[in-house]
Amino acid sequence: MTTSSDTQSERGRALREFWFYFSENRGAVIGLGIFVLLLLTAVFAPLLAPHDPIQQYRDFLLTPPSWQEGGSSQFLLGTDAVGRDLLSRLIFGARQSLIIGAVVVTIAVTGGIILGLVSGFFGGWVDTVIMRVMDVILAFPSLLLALVMVAILGPGLMNAMIAIAIVLQPHFARLTRAAVMAEKEREYVMAARVAGAGRIRLMVRTILPNCLAPLIVQGTLSFSSAVLDAAALGFLGMGAQPPLPEWGTMLAEAREFILSAWWVVTFPGLAILITVLAINLVGDGLRDALDPKLKRS
């Protein structure tokens, strides 16, 4: 089939071009590298972690990192207030963070795209109602709204993820709607319609691939927001509950020791920062590589 191989080579060319622009951005490549490392850490956490993340070593409460005086070679980054190995908890924490990001983005993207497609395609009062609801969600400071929602649903990681996804999804709905509005009147959509494509088919097969670029960029940014917000909720006691090794929750437990045991405060936060930074680096690279306006300069 010539047509399918044509589209395949077309797709391959687009992909190569994308990779060319993306790989030119040193920061983005570094970010991607760190992200892949994090992913591997999360997947192989049981193999990498020297200890069980919830095992309490009663004889080693608040042991400093191994290189510091009083440290033990058994616990590379020290232990927390109940004697759990910090390094193992950080390694297992990578799992939570990446799962949070993935789940939140999946829910937010799916919900946002469906709402945006429906809104853009049907127009009229359906559009008005959906977009008004999105406006209302965006009118609240996101963390506050998520916080109240978690309070209603009950504290916990799953509820925190749902709340964050609801708060983040209006961005996707708006993007998709705008793309649908812009593409709706284009010739190829008209042509597909004339050729007898059904409405749903038209939406999913024809329009969606053409608004993929901004959605991917927004998805990346939302991934980092999700990690950050989930950690914030954990810190406020509304996210993951102890003894789950989630970085934000670890910080909350460590708060009272800030002036006595620096390591229990420093490392979990550093882990959050590095993760979010890596994802944002990738996001910037994606934006530059996918935005044709910036390519010229």
Partner 1 sequence: MIRFLLGKLAYLIPTFIGITIVAFGFVRLLPGDPVLLMAGERGISPERHAQLSAQLGFDRPLVVQYLDFIGGLFQGDFGTSLATRRPVLGEFLTLFPATVELSVCAIILATLIGIPLGIFAAIKRGSAFDQVSMGAALVGYSMPIFWWGLLLIILFSGILGWTPVSGRIDLLYFFRNGTGFMLIDSLMSGQKGAFTSAVSHLILPSIVLATIPMAVIARQSRSAMLEVLSEDYVRTARAKGMSAWRVVGVHALRNAMIPVITTIGLQIGVMMAGAILTETIFSWPGVGKWMIDSISRRDYPSVQGGLLLIAAVVMIVNLIVDLLYGIINPRIRHS
Binding residues (CB under 8 A) for partner 1: these are 27, 132-133, 135-136, 139-145, 147-149, 151-152, 154, 224, 228, 231-232, 235-238, 248, 251, 255, 258-259, 262, 265-266, 268-270, 272-273, 276-277, 279-281, 284, 297
Report the largest interatomic distance among the alpha carbons of the chain, rounded to a whole angstrom.
Answer: 77
Tell the smallest beta-carbon distance from residue 287 to partner 1 (Å).
11
Asked if 65 and 266 count as a contact pair (C-beta separation under 8 A), the reply is no
Tell the smallest beta-carbon distance from residue 253 to partner 1 (Å).
12
**Angle formed by the axes of helices 157-184 and 212-235, to 10°?**
160
Tell the smallest beta-carbon distance from residue 242 to partner 1 (Å).
16
Tell the smallest beta-carbon distance from residue 147 to partner 1 (Å).
6
* Chain Cα centroid distance, residue 205: 26
Tell the smallest beta-carbon distance from residue 177 to partner 1 (Å).
16
Q: Which is nearer to partner 1, 203 or 268 (CB)?
A: 268
Three-state SS for 263-280 is: HHHHHHHHHHHHHHHHHH
In this structure, what is the dihedral angle of CA atoms 147, 150, 154, 160, given to the nearest 10 degrees? -120
Q: Which is nearer to partner 1, 48 or 143 (CB)?
A: 143
Q: How far apart are CA 14 and CA 7, in angstroms?
A: 10
Q: Which is nearer to partner 1, 190 or 294 (CB)?
A: 294
Query: What number of other Cβ atoms are within 10 A of residue 282's Cβ?
Result: 26
Q: Nearest 5°: phi and psi at 196?
A: 95, 20
Q: Which is nearer to partner 1, 210 or 241 (CB)?
A: 241
What own/partner pairs with CB < 8 Å and gap ≥ 24 does 10-14 have?
none
Tell the smallest beta-carbon distance from residue 128 to partner 1 (Å).
9
Q: How far apart are CA 72 and CA 75, in angstroms?
A: 6
Quote the strand ranges of 103-226, DSSP E: none
Q: How far apart are CA 57 and CA 51, in angstroms?
A: 10
Tell the smallest beta-carbon distance from residue 221 to partner 1 (Å).
10
Q: Which is nearer to partner 1, 91 or 261 (CB)?
A: 261
Query: What number of other Cβ atoms are within 10 A of residue 136's Cβ?
Result: 11
Q: Which is nearer to partner 1, 46 or 141 (CB)?
A: 141
Q: Which is nearer to partner 1, 85 or 288 (CB)?
A: 288
Tell the smallest beta-carbon distance from residue 5 to partner 1 (Å).
40
- Roughly how many angstroms between the first and final C-alpha of the chain, as a whole number? 38
The one-letter code for the residue type at 202 is L
Q: Which is nearer to partner 1, 38 or 228 (CB)?
A: 228
Q: How far apart are CA 81 and CA 6, in angstroms?
A: 62
